[in-house]
A and B are shown apart, each in its own frame.
Chain A
Amino acid sequence: MVGDNDIRIKVEDLTLIFGKRKKEALKLLNQGYTKTEILKKTKCTVGVNKASFEIKKGEIFVIMGLSGSGKSTLIRCLNRLNDPTDGRVFFKDHDITRDSNKQLLNTRRTEMSMVFQKFGLLPHRTILENAAFGLEIRGEPKEQREEKGRKALKTVGLEGYEEQYPDELSGGMQQRVGLARALANDTDVLLMDEAFSALDPLIKADMQDELLQIQNKLHKTIVFITHDLDEAMKVGDRIAIMKDGVVEQIGTAEEILTDPATEYVEAFVEKVDRKTIITAETLMFDKPTIVNFRKDGPKGAIRKMREAGVDVLPVEDSDEKFLGYVWLEDMLKLEKEKVKSVATALNTKVPSVYKHYTVEDMLPLITGHHYPLAVIDEEEGRLLGLVTQTSLIIESTRFNDKEMDKLIGEANEL
């Protein structure tokens, strides 16, 4: 359960307007005028429009949107590199929008650290000096900050590079320095502004993995900006999708994929590689027809198959543990032989999956046979539901039902 104490950052009605006539524009915005109308009337641009959300302690909260959606502006409101026009930003109980300049410097030094798209390293300083920069600004003594800097560089895998200069490092390594600089400050909030967007795809994937590993150890509260939905889905515990300064939807990757709140989000997520996100839990149909190993003999199994209109059914024993499948063909044979138990025909050598398995994980398991995948409980092996091959194929190919019917039709004609 998430209590109030678990909320690390709380943003309320955050609005940022660029331009000279901010007050007027804000008034119009509150009266319900649109962004374009306001631009026409006041020549002011609404960068962020009444964004509200809560970020829990220890989660990676991704804000994603295309360029111009206001995501980078929004994250800069969290440390007031951009001063919000209206609204509040709370770090726990501390409202940073009310900070005086002096308090603000202190907040930036102690409450949060930031990683930038363009790294923002100091070219005239060594890697170690760069990593310890935040601590230097804070006024920590040299030995102490160098020790922390070394430790942070070790965390990001840059041991041995301390005395080199940023331009001697590759882009990926430079961003590791950027990350080390943020980690060295040891703040529990990390702001990452398109931190991996400037990197090559392979390096990017590496860095994402690394970030997740670090997060497993350190449990920071991370606000992560990206325009890459795949990246958002990979690193994000929860994702906020932004468009034109408005937060359109907030949810987990799967919630957003399976239940997009607006047309924009829907259009957006269409491009996503769903294979890696959709899980067995979403795809399975629960409460399938089940043959009970103890109670149902071949006769019962055949009746159940006829009712369900299938030729294969899962079998479980009396404590609901999944055992395997039985086929109609075998049942008919057993019935003829007057055998009372399905035991001899039970095929136990079948794959089963847990509910967090993704489509990608499941696809290799369906080749070479023709029965649904059983989704079972991780602890007790209880049968939770079945994932049919058809639904898996639909998910992985992204054909909708009509297209599938057409394909099946074509296949039948052949």
Chain B
Amino acid sequence: MEKQTNYNMEKILPIGEYIEKGINSLEQNLSFLWRVIDDGISWTVKNMNDLFLAIPVVIILVAIAFIACYVKAGNKMFTKSGLKKGYGLTLFVILGLLLIYAMGYWKEAIQTTTLVLVSTIIALILGIPFGIWSAKSNTADTVIRPILDFMQTMPAFVYLIPAIFFFSVGNTPGVIATVIFSLPPSVRLTNLGIRNVPGDVIEAGRAFGANENQILFKIQLPLAMPTILAGINQVILLALSMVVIASMVGARGLGSIVYQGIQQNDIAKGFESGVGIVILAMILDRITQSIGSKK
């Protein structure tokens, strides 16, 4: 009896408590900032939602099918060879979106897409500059790398807690959690892409008197673009994979239907919404991947 108590070890370093205290004081002292962020994200998500929902389904369908065909076939999309290249993805996009519509989850699919788009845009606005920075400076790289590891491997539920704390339930904590989880690939792949630009091309730039900005915008970024686009593709897919978890803190969309299905033990609901997410994921993935592979 007495010996067993030894396993109940005492906490020597209560890191969690420090973090909690820190977060508490952040919440209290910077409440103005949290309000601004919350309002900004909520406003964007709501308006984008309303906009997409206001457009007739047929127009959205045609527009996305057009985009799919364009990224596959480029300018030749109306020629025979272009159609041959593009018809597969175009057909898939049309059928997939029709299926979602037929299942009755159009509105939720739009909400999910909006959430993914907003999160992706925020993640890229933050991620690409950090990627450039860590490519240019080894010190920045060594500091940023473990933070990225932390963001990717820390279970997403853990940072849902403070997210609710700062922003209460709704779309905002969902977006914040999604941004944190999906941002790392954009940093990593931007970094990788820039570092992989052949040294001789950069040297040529320097020899002709290019300054740092010219090197970055005329040489490094264009040559790193395929890798950066692969990073963007990853960001989108990771964002989509977060929708179910984000729904736990009140984000709307297909994820919340999955969540309802779990809670109500409703196999039909769960399956349908799950298929909807898969279709969205495949459409977004194929389209962004084709952008990356196009010359």
Segment touching A, from B47-55, B90-98, B198-206: B198-206
Q: Are A120 and B209 in contact (CB under 8 A)?
A: no
Residues on B with C-beta less than 8 A from A105 are 209-211
Q: Are A122 and B201 in contact (CB under 8 A)?
A: yes
User: How many A-B contacts are there with CB distance less than 8 Å?
Assistant: 59
Segment touching B, from A63-71, A129-137, A209-217: A129-137
- In the complex, A105 Cα to B204 Cα: how many Å? 13
With an 8 A cutoff between CB atoms, is A116 at the interface? yes
- In the complex, A106 Cα to B211 Cα: how many Å? 10
B207 contacts which of A114, A117, A122 (Cβ < 8 Å)?
A114
With an 8 A cutoff between CB atoms, is B219 at the interface? yes
Residues on A with C-beta less than 8 A from B225 are 124
With an 8 A cutoff between CB atoms, is A279 at the interface? no
With an 8 A cutoff between CB atoms, is B88 at the interface? no
Give the interface residue-count category, chain A.
20 to 34
For window 164-217 of B, CB contacts with A under 8 Å fall at 198, 200-201, 203-211, 214
Q: Are B208 and A81 in contact (CB under 8 A)?
A: no
With an 8 A cutoff between CB atoms, is A113 at the interface? yes
A124 contacts which of B198, B204, B222 (Cβ < 8 Å)?
B222
Residues on B with C-beta less than 8 A from A116 are 200, 203-204, 207
With an 8 A cutoff between CB atoms, is B136 at the interface? no
Q: Are A109 and B209 in contact (CB under 8 A)?
A: yes
Q: Are B222 and A108 in contact (CB under 8 A)?
A: no
A109 contacts which of B201, B203, B208, B223 (Cβ < 8 Å)?
B208
Q: If A113-B207, A137-B208 touch, does A120 touch B201 (CB 8 Å cutoff)?
A: yes
Give the interface residue-count category, chain B.
10 to 19
Q: Are B218 and A114 in contact (CB under 8 A)?
A: no
Residues on A with C-beta less than 8 A from B200 are 116-120
B219 contacts which of A81, A117, A122 (Cβ < 8 Å)?
A122
Q: Are B203 and A120 in contact (CB under 8 A)?
A: yes
Q: Are B223 and A138 in contact (CB under 8 A)?
A: no
With an 8 A cutoff between CB atoms, is A221 at the interface? no
With an 8 A cutoff between CB atoms, is A79 at the interface? yes
Q: Are B201 and A137 in contact (CB under 8 A)?
A: no
Residues on A with C-beta less than 8 A from B198 are 118
Q: Are A81 and B209 in contact (CB under 8 A)?
A: no
Q: Are A106 and B201 in contact (CB under 8 A)?
A: no
Q: Are A108 and B204 in contact (CB under 8 A)?
A: no
Residues on A with C-beta less than 8 A from B210 are 105, 137
For window 74-119 of A, CB contacts with B under 8 Å fall at 79, 81, 105-110, 113-114, 116-119
Q: Are B209 and A133 in contact (CB under 8 A)?
A: no
Chain A nearest Cβ from B210, distance in angstroms? 5
Residues on B with C-beta less than 8 A from A109 are 208-209
Q: Are A81 and B214 in contact (CB under 8 A)?
A: no
With an 8 A cutoff between CB atoms, is A157 at the interface? no
Residues on A with C-beta less than 8 A from B218 are 122, 136-137
Residues on A with C-beta less than 8 A from B207 are 79, 81, 108, 113-114, 116, 191
Q: Are A108 and B203 in contact (CB under 8 A)?
A: no
- In the complex, A185 Cα to B209 Cα: how many Å? 11
Chain A nearest Cβ from B138, distance in angstroms? 15
Q: List 25 interface pairs A-B (beta carbons < 8 Å), by A numbering.
A: A79-B207, A81-B206, A81-B207, A105-B210, A105-B211, A110-B209, A113-B208, A116-B204, A116-B207, A117-B200, A120-B201, A121-B201, A121-B204, A122-B201, A122-B219, A122-B222, A124-B223, A124-B225, A133-B205, A137-B205, A137-B208, A137-B209, A137-B210, A138-B209, A181-B208
B interface residues (Cβ-Cβ under 8 A, vs A): 198, 200-201, 203-211, 214, 218-219, 222-223, 225
A interface residues (Cβ-Cβ under 8 A, vs B): 79, 81, 105-110, 113-114, 116-124, 133-134, 136-138, 181, 185, 191
